[in-house]
Amino acid sequence: MATGPPASPSAEQCPELSSTVASPEMLEGKEMPGPSEPRVETSPRPPFTSVKRNRDSEDDLEELLIPEPQPVWVVETLCELKMKLKRQRVFTVLPEHHDVFTRLLENPMVKRFLDWDKTLKASDKYLLSMVIAYFSRAGLFCWQYKPIHFFLALYLANDMEEDNQAPKQDIFYFLYGKSFAQRPMFHKLRFQFIRSMGWRAWVSPEECEEIQAYNPELWVWARDRSKLTL
């Protein structure tokens, strides 16, 4: 009697936050005895990105399996029998990420910081758009996001986009005053946060515009540094 193909072993999950998921496996069934038995091949399993969490800290990150966005190709031009394809960027920001951001805007500490940053050097609308993009990449459950994640994402956005170090120092000063005791822990959490994003910290201007267009009436999108009059 012929037996079926062996079950596919599940991908191993490493205990460290910095580990990545195992490569996808292609399992091929062996040819069954007998003249009429066809060769059975299993389909390849889609790749996943693994995000680890540490359950001992309220600020640590959740382990999820997030499918990588697949590229989409659209027809750009069509001339007789010739066709030119254009790769369309796939964004992964979901409505719940916008909801998390809006909820955190109501937090007293976040509100005080936005009022305190009157020059918008650390929190203009594009930097705040990047915060939402980072929330979508970090992989936490929506209820897990807290004010510290807002400041971690905003610090990272300034680190990516601003050449001036002053806005990042302003974030530290607002959170901890002149004390340096908590800064090493902040940098440790920032490292964990960016690693949970798969080191994908760059956000395109098109994605920022799309994030703002989701809810154009949100009051923070009026924080346009170019229109600021001092």
Domain spans, the chain: 95-225
3-state SS class at 137: helix
Give Cα 109 to chain centroid, integer Å. 23
Contacts of 73 (CB under 8 A, 6+ apart): 85, 86, 87, 88
Q: Is the dihedral of CA 128, 134, 136, 142 positive or negative?
A: negative
Instruction: Please provide the average confidence, as pLDDT, over all residues in the chain.
Output: 75
Q: What is the pLDDT of residue 17?
A: 37
What mean pLDDT do residues 39-45 have?
47
Provide the whole-model pTM: 0.62
Identify the band that residue 68 occupies on the pLDDT scale cut at 50, 70 and 90: low
Residue indicated by tokens 């929330």 = 135
What mean pLDDT do residues 166-175 have?
93
Cross-strand bridge partners of residue 67: 48
Q: What is the pLDDT of residue 228?
A: 77
C-beta of residue 135 within 8 angstroms of C-beta of residue 214: no
Q: What is the pLDDT of residue 226?
A: 85
Statement: residue 57 has pLDDT above 80: no
Q: What is the CA radius of gyration of the chain?
A: 23
Determine how many CB atoms are found less than 10 A away from the CB of residue 205. 9
Strand-strand pairing, 48-51 and 82-88: unpaired
pLDDT in tens, 10-26: 444 433 333 334 444 44
Q: What is the pLDDT of residue 14?
A: 39
Q: What is the pLDDT of residue 15?
A: 39
Q: What is the pLDDT of residue 73?
A: 59
